[in-house]
Each structure stands twice: as structure tokens, then as C-alpha cells.
Amino acid sequence: MAGRGRARGPGVRGPFLLRVPLLVPPLVCLLVALVGCGGRAAPDHARADVQRVLDRRAAAVLGHDPGAFAATGAASGYAAVRAVPWAAWSYRVKAVRRSGDTATADAELSYRVEGYDKAPVTTARTLRLARDGSGRWSVTSDRPAAKTGEQLWDQGTVSVVRGAHSLVLGVGQSGERLRSFAELADDAVPAVSAAWGTDWAGHVVVLVPRSLDGMAGLLGSPSSSYRGIAAVTTGETGGGAGAPADRIIVNPDAYGMLGRVGRQVVLTHETTHVATRAHTGAATPLWLSEGYADWVGYRGTGRTPAEAAPELQHDVTGGTVPAALPGDGDFGFSGDTDRLSKAYEGGWLACRMIAERWGEVRLDAFYRAVGAHGKRDGAVEDALKSVLGTSLARFTGDWQDYLRTQLA
């Protein structure tokens, strides 16, 4: 899934007959038998047969029937997914490539987690199958398609912990550690609702892979892109009530380096992205979406600007103040880490300034107004004017002065 969410045979044909010398009738007859009378290809039922096998496999997952699952082929996959509360699980075969008694199928897997996904998550899969002497096909492997992110169960058996407002799915983690994430999420949800309001699902799905490499595998990206990033949230920007639930994906390596407050800030930040997703779109700059999420994350923690924005403070005390609000390019995970830190800090302080000067209600209204604009051009400028009664130039100047007073 990945978006930060992300895709998702021929048989023998008549022309081969043209290459057969007419002086070799037995071979001609053999080929005619293969393609059928009149030169029309004999029907290949492999695709339909494979679809039936995968339908039975899906039914076994939903029916919690390991025996029926094993009857469709490789049985190890059942243990990996059996603990997850599935509301739906199905395959749609898109193509089958045969080679004798083996086949490779391109399929789309759709699934929903009970109580969380309003619409199915879809992901491309590549399945390999083998046919036995009786002509029955069975699955030998089921893996992500090329250039498609892994699913959590591709990395091992999934363990499940339910919280009051959360569902935590993990691989290679102890029950105690997964419960700690559920506790963080359960504290994050009411904190986000207190700041943003209750017009969102009010619960979150948290994925905890074994390591940084596991996180990168879920996102379909190199590990280097997320080193030092504690968590990310995947989902559909602008997604409404009918969209699949966002997934908060944790980097357990980076999380282990944080203290209790830091861990809570991160989970609250990511939960804010879940809550605001329906009002975040192409018009929303990253300084606003990330800055707002940090504002909610730090809200009530007592952390001062100097404590929460050390990189910007270093610049400001050295006499350098940013010339403009952070651009989207400043938030690239694979770029300069100092630049990334200053981008987050600058966005947070911009939202903090709005909350202090115009009030938290106006901050929320500003966020929604920007997202509702539909396109980037003019979105921030129009919302600044209609909601805050200011211009971009004046707001930027106020923000620069705010950095000086808070960080100098």
C-alpha cells in the first residue's frame, strides 16, 4: 500500500503451422491436433482454473480454515495472516503465463480489515503455481508484484494487539512492545480529537515491522530513504469516509532511540495525519500539513521552541532567518537531514504562531480552507486573506519575527 500509498500466455497459435513443411504430414497432424480443427486455438482453461484455486484460498482465509487453505497449495501463508480480523479477502486474476505444468499468475489482491477499512486495500501480487498429475493447480508462492511494496505478512507471522482506539499489527515484536504502541495510539486519538475535532474515524491502524528494512519493504523504497524517520503514514490524500484506513508504519529502530515524550509526539503527529487526511490535498503545502501535525503532537507537552526546534535555533541565534516558509522540496527524506529538521521546525512554528495569535479554531479553519481550494496556486494566499485577514508577505514577515523572538 503504499502510499504514503502505491501496481497496482499465449498458447500455440495457427501461424506456427506455416513453418511446418507440407512433406511431413505426421507433424502437421500433431500440430493440428494441438490447435484444433480449422486452425482455431484449443481453449486454455488455466486462467479460470487458477481463479478458482485463489477463490478457494481466499475463502479459507475468511473462514479460518487452515485445512482448506493447505488444499490450495503452500500452507505457510495461512499462519502469517490468521490473527488479523479480516472483513474481506479476494483475488482477481489478470493474466496467466504457462510453461508446461507450471504457471505464473498476475493478480490483484483486495482485502479489508474488520472495523477499520471502509473500502478495500488493493495490491498487485505475483503467484506461482504447479499442476499435478491429475491436472489440478496449486499455489507454490504468493509475493508482491515487481515494484510493489510488501504486505506485513510477507515479512513473517503477524501478531495483533487491540487497543481502545487502535489496532496494532506487528512482525517479530513481543506482545509487550506491541501493547506499548497500542497505549501510545490510545493516548494519541483523544489528543488529536481535542485539537482537530471528532469528524474522523477516531481510531488508527499501526504497523510495526521487525526493523527499518521491514519498514522500507512495506513502503517499496530503499532503507536509506527512512533512516532516522520514526514513522510515516500512508493513505489517500483527500480520501473520504469510503477510503481504506490509513496505516501508520513505524520504524522500530528509530523508535527505540526516543524517550517516552518523543514516542508520544510521533504517534500523535501520525494520528493527526489520519484525522486530517480528508481535508489534505494537492492544495496543501507540506509546511502546513507537517507543521500542523507537529503542533498537535507537541500540544500539551510543555516543550519550548528552543527544545523542539534546535536546528532553527542554531541558525537564528547565528543571525540567519529563513527567507521564506519551507518548500515541499525541503521535506525530502533522502536529502539533507538538517534541512529536513529545519523544514519541520519551521512549519511547526508557523502553525504555533497562528494558534497563539489567531486562536486554535482559526488554525483549524485555515487548514481546512487551504485543503478545500482544490489546487496549489492561490490556496494559501486565499485562506490567509479569508480566514486570518492577512497576506502571504505579511504572514511570512510575522513568522520571521516570531522565530527571532522564540528562538533568539
Question: How confident is the model over 21-58, as pLDDT tens digits?
Answer: 333 344 333 333 333 444 444 456 899 999 999 999 99
The answer as to whether 12 is a domain residue is no
Per-residue confidence band for 336, with pLDDT thresholds at 50, 70 and 90? confident
SS3 (DSSP) at 300: coil
- Looking up residue 122, the CATH number of its domain turns out to be 3.10.450.50
- Looking up residue 191, the CATH number of its domain turns out to be 3.30.2010.30
- Does 8 have pLDDT greater than 90? no
Contact criterion met (CB below 8 Å) for 254 and 215: no
**Judgement on whether residues 251 and 237 belong to the same structural domain of the protein:** yes
**Judgement on whether residues 293 and 392 belong to the same structural domain of the protein:** yes
- Does 136 have pLDDT greater than 70? yes
For residue 79, count other CB atoms closer than 10 A to its CB.
Answer: 14
Q: What global pTM score does this model have?
A: 0.87
**Judgement on whether residues 315 and 342 belong to the same structural domain of the protein:** yes
**Judgement on whether residues 286 and 361 belong to the same structural domain of the protein:** yes
Last residue of a domain, one of 118, 149, 180: 149
Last residue of a domain, one of 242, 258, 279: 279
**Judgement on whether residues 85 and 199 belong to the same structural domain of the protein:** no
Whole-angstrom distance, CA of residue 275 vs CA of residue 281: 13
The answer as to whether 325 is a domain residue is yes
Q: Which three cell numbers stand for residue 388?
A: 486570518
**Judgement on whether residues 408 and 293 belong to the same structural domain of the protein:** yes
- Does 302 have pLDDT greater than 60? yes
Whole-angstrom distance, CA of residue 224 vs CA of residue 332: 12
**Judgement on whether residues 215 and 143 belong to the same structural domain of the protein:** no
- Looking up residue 396, the CATH number of its domain turns out to be 1.10.390
The answer as to whether 40 is a domain residue is no
**Judgement on whether residues 274 and 289 belong to the same structural domain of the protein:** no
**Judgement on whether residues 311 and 235 belong to the same structural domain of the protein:** no
For residue 76, count other CB atoms closer than 10 A to its CB.
Answer: 11
Count the domains in the chain: 3
State in Å, rounded, how far the first CA of the chain is from the last one: 43
Residue 129 CA, distance from chain mean position? 28
Last residue of a domain, one of 133, 149, 165: 149
DSSP string, 94-135: EEEEEETTEEEEEEEEEEEETTT-SS-EEEEEEEEEEE-TTS
The answer as to whether 19 is a domain residue is no
Whole-angstrom distance, CA of residue 396 vs CA of residue 274: 28
| Average of per-residue pLDDT across 232-257 | 84
The answer as to whether 17 is a domain residue is no
**Judgement on whether residues 265 and 183 belong to the same structural domain of the protein:** yes
**Judgement on whether residues 231 and 317 belong to the same structural domain of the protein:** no
Task: Choose among 59, 47, 135, 60: nearest CA to 94.
Answer: 47
Contact criterion met (CB below 8 Å) for 125 and 135: no
Backbone phi, then psi, for 93, in 5-degree steps? -75, 130
**Judgement on whether residues 249 and 318 belong to the same structural domain of the protein:** no
The answer as to whether 340 is a domain residue is yes
pLDDT at 350 (0 to 100): 98
Which residue range forms the structural domain that includes residue 144? 46-149
pLDDT > 90 in the chain, percent: 83
Q: Give me the torsion for CA of 266, 268, 271, 276, rounded to 10°.
A: -110
